[in-house]
Amino acid sequence: MTERIQKMLAHAGLGSRREIEDWIRHGRVEVDGKVAVIGQQVGAQSRVLVDGRRIQLNATSSGSSRALLYHKPVGQICSRQDPQGRPTVFDGLPKLRGQRWVSVGRLDFNTSGLMLFTTDGELAHRLMHPSQEIEREYRCRVRGQVNPADLRRLSEGILLGGQLCRFESIRTQSGSGANHWHTVILKEGRYREVRRMWESVGCTVSRLVRVRYGSFRLSRELKSGQHQELQRSQHDGLYRLAGMKMGRGTPQRKPMRSSPASARAAPNDKAKTNRATGVKRKRPVNPRNDS
């Protein structure tokens, strides 16, 4: 059985599909002695090299991949390395051999809350894809006066950078003076989307916490900076959430609906080596954050 190379490498745990497509575009991947192209079909017998290193394409199942929940604190970035030396969300995750953790989306430096990580890059790609319409729920402390017309605009949709953004629901909660807590739900993860939407109606988000991603909720038991590895039944639930039918061997992917391609970050000239896989990884510039 053959599969597109970027999906095969992502599912093998080398990185997210976005990262691997970037490697292919820059000529870092070879198949049977020739430079690979995006979408090229490969099988278990194909000879695949990444930065000159042979990659074993053994078929994997959900049983060989891992996933965990992480409670991100304010003050961590979602990149693997930072030129400024700031702490990253990857610093405290369990060490891996032959695989690496891929984050399901990002949270910006000043946002805290629930993050998901998996060693299956294809699963991460599916969970982030807009066509899946997976709900993200946030608690927002908002400074500024919000009237019913503003809430209606946020629910019906606002154009930000030429794209229509909207909250699926808004629940106003406690607060005093100019500060009030709201709980909002949306089905996408564009760059700083929650903050930008509130700013569009003249408000400022002074605190932002993601409390739910799909069916996975941030529990009180999971303290800031802690992680919790998913049990097998929960892990299989991630594949179902991503629309990946479970079967023997590699999970079977249902075809996704097409959506507008999102902008990808340009790579830096210097490459970093991933200790787990031996593959050099180029550091992205201005990575996207969900909020």
- The ranges of the chain annotated as CATH 3.30.2350.10 are 135-213
Q: Is the dihedral of CA 39, 254, 56, 79 positive or negative?
A: positive
Higher pLDDT, 247 or 214: 214
Q: Is 108 a catalytic residue?
A: yes
The CATH architecture one would assign to domain 135-213 is 2-Layer Sandwich (3.30)
pTM of the full structure: 0.74
Q: Is the confidence at residue 250, as pLDDT, over 50?
A: no
Q: What is the pLDDT of residue 150?
A: 95
- pLDDT at residue number 289: 63
Structural contact between residues 106 and 210, judged by C-beta atoms closer than 8 angstroms: no
Nearest Cα residue to 223 out of 69, 89, 63, 46:
69
pLDDT higher than threshold 80 for residue 258: no
- Evaluate if residue 158 carries a pLDDT over 80: yes
Which residue in this structure is represented by tokens 């965990």?
Answer: 68
The lowest-confidence range among 17-26, 72-81, 191-200 is 17-26
Q: Which of the residues 82, 91, 108, 290 is marked catalytic?
A: 108
94-142 pLDDT, tens digit each: 998 778 899 999 999 999 999 999 998 889 989 998 889 999 999 999 9
Phi, psi of 78 (to 5 degrees): -100, 5
Which residue's entry shows tokens 């604190």? 73
Residue with tokens 């430096």: 109
